[in-house]
Amino acid sequence: MPKPAGRDRLSFIEPLMPTLVDKPPEGDGWIHEVKFDGYRSQIVRDVDGVRIFSRRGLDWTAKYRDLAKAASGLDAEDAIIDGEVIVTNEAGLSDFKALRKAITSRQQDLYFVAFDLLHFNGRDLRDMPLEDRREILAEMIPPGGRIQFSQSLPGDAKSIFHLIDQAGLEGMVSKRKESKYRSGNSTAWLKAKCYAIDEYDLLGVEREAGKPAFALLAERGTGRYVGSAFITLNREMRERLWQRALEHAGTAPNGMKRPATQWVRPGLIGRVKHLRGEDDLRHASLQDFREVGTP
């Protein structure tokens, strides 16, 4: 563990990254928080003022001018705060697409949701239990400002996850109450993500003997390739998909090279189940497909 820094210039700390799991952990040894759909960020306040870093340690203070100003008003001589920069929509949910626009044109819509405190008033807190770090963090953040504290959610993990899914949120993060903060991938924090079902343009079908079949997909209206989805249809539907792919045979879009792929012309739409809150498809499966113009 690094020696605690004095009240000098502080450095960015590589964040702790949660492990993705299928379902949240049960038991009393965990706290559960909403997983926000934004940019993981770190506020560093020291003798030189406030800086805000991206997850990879890039200085994004200029992008977050208003948040940096808000952080300068926190009750701390120096601090390193782990959190997420977000924008909320009309329903009060974090909105990743709106966040990108807000950074360049609507700074007043940005919020920083703080969930951990790594350094405070000359002390390195990373060896302190999570619950104690968060208690200090909650006390230093006034209510109603641009910087907000990520409250833990009451109840058992299964019920919380169900409510988060029903609310249309991205997922939840569960953290061991007694855990220390260690940079890099960790099982002390676990993230369970919810699934969404959306429609995408079908670009092609990838079939190779002895391997799973995939549907290659693009964002509707833009043609942007978003990834592939396992084809888990029943045998009858799979055969119907192969037939439609042959009937709509086309060429590879934008020079894409996938040797085992049957490319299709525009006109087929795939209904896909995938992890919510991702730019591209992850853990995706093709649930159904249709032709343009059919319900």
What confidence tens digit (pLDDT) does each residue in 129-157 have?
A: 999 999 999 999 998 899 999 999 999 99
Q: Which residues of the chain have pLDDT under 70?
A: 1-7, 91, 294-295
Q: Specify the pLDDT at position 1.
A: 45
Q: Which of 60, 18, 17, 4 is CA-nearest to residue 184?
A: 17
Helix H or strand E segment including 291: strand 285-291
Q: Specify the pLDDT at position 5.
A: 45
Residue 189, class by beta-carbon neighbours within 10 Å (0-12 exposed, 13-18 middle, 19+ buried)? buried
CA dist 51 and 170 (Å) reads 28
Give the 3-state secondary structure of 191-239.
Answer: EEECEEEEEEEEEEEECCCCCCCEEEEECCCCCCEEEEEEECCCHHHHH
Distance of CA 71 to the CA centre of its chain: 23
Phi-psi region of 173 (alpha: psi -120 to 50; beta: other; left: phi over 0): beta
- In 10 A of CB 61, how many CB atoms? 17
Name all domains of the chain by residue range, CATH numbers in brackets. Answer: 16-193 (3.30.470.30), 195-291 (2.40.50.140)
The DSSP code for 91 is T
CA dist 157 and 74 (Å) reads 32
Q: Please, what sign has the CA dihedral across residues 37, 39, 44, 50?
A: negative
Q: Please, what sign has the CA dihedral across residues 247, 252, 256, 258?
A: positive
Q: Rounded mean pLDDT of the chain? A: 90
Task: Provide CB contacts within 8 A for 37, sequence distance 6+.
Answer: 86, 93, 94, 95, 96, 99, 169, 170, 277
3-state SS assignment for residue 40: strand
pLDDT in tens, 167-210: 888 899 999 999 999 999 999 999 999 998 999 999 999 988 77
Q: Specify the pLDDT at position 91.
A: 67
Cα radius of gyration rounded to whole Å, the chain? 23
**Cα dihedral: 240, 241, 243, 248 (round 10):** 140
CA dist 229 and 201 (Å) reads 12
CA dist 292 and 295 (Å) reads 8
Q: Specify the pLDDT at position 104.
A: 81
Instruction: Catalogue the active-site residues.
Output: 35
Task: Provide CB contacts within 8 A for 243, sequence distance 6+.
Answer: none
